[in-house]
Amino acid sequence: MSQSSHIKDRFLSHRLITNDLIGKIKTEHFDYKPTPTSMSAHELVVHMLTSFYHLASAAAKQRPKTLHDKDDDKNLPLLAQRYTDESVKLIESLSEERLDEFVDLSDSMGINVPARTLIDMAIDHEINHKGNLFVYVREMGHEKLPMFVKK
């Protein structure tokens, strides 16, 4: 199995659960925050989707496309699928050589790391916020929630 296939499988094992959780968020809960300083449910979802996509774009040395505007982000499951599909395309584009090349994000994040490390960081970022999303969705009243990963 190629490294990009392994990375794609690891990403999807988490993203598919994220997408399941996103599907449970009703429009009337978009503004839900567990604490006053938290992101709203809507903000958290958009942050998760766009952050991974932008980091994967940087790893692939591509400029991220605009995948949605304010009118598009009312249908969170559709938005999640769009960002998932585009993120998978980026991961699949990563050759073994590209994964070893450094990505200079000194200006924006203060790091200069191999593309594979950047993708690992993006997955870890998603895992962290997926934990937050579990709390949000449970607080919205959902009791039947998926497992942490999907194989």
CATH number of the domain within which 112 lies: 1.20.120.450
Q: What is the pLDDT of residues 56-85, one digit of tens each?
A: 999 999 999 999 887 777 899 999 999 999
Q: Which residues span the domain enclosing 67?
A: 3-139
β-pair partners for 136:
none
Contact yes or no for 65/124 (Cβ under 8 A): no
pTM for the model stands at 0.95
Name 62's Cβ contacts closer than 8 Å, sequence gap at least 6.
90, 93
Q: Report yes or no on 57 lying in a domain.
A: yes
**Which pLDDT score, from 0 to 100, does residue 70 have?**
76
Backbone phi, psi, residue 111, to 5°: -135, 155
How many other β-carbons are positioned within 10 Å of the β-carbon of residue 66? Answer: 6
Per-residue pLDDT at 1 exceeds 80: no
Domain count, the chain: 1
CA 19: distance to chain centroid? 9
Q: What is the pLDDT of residues 44-54, one digit of tens each?
A: 999 999 999 99
Q: Report yes or no on 66 lying in a domain.
A: yes
Q: Report yes or no on 151 lying in a domain.
A: no
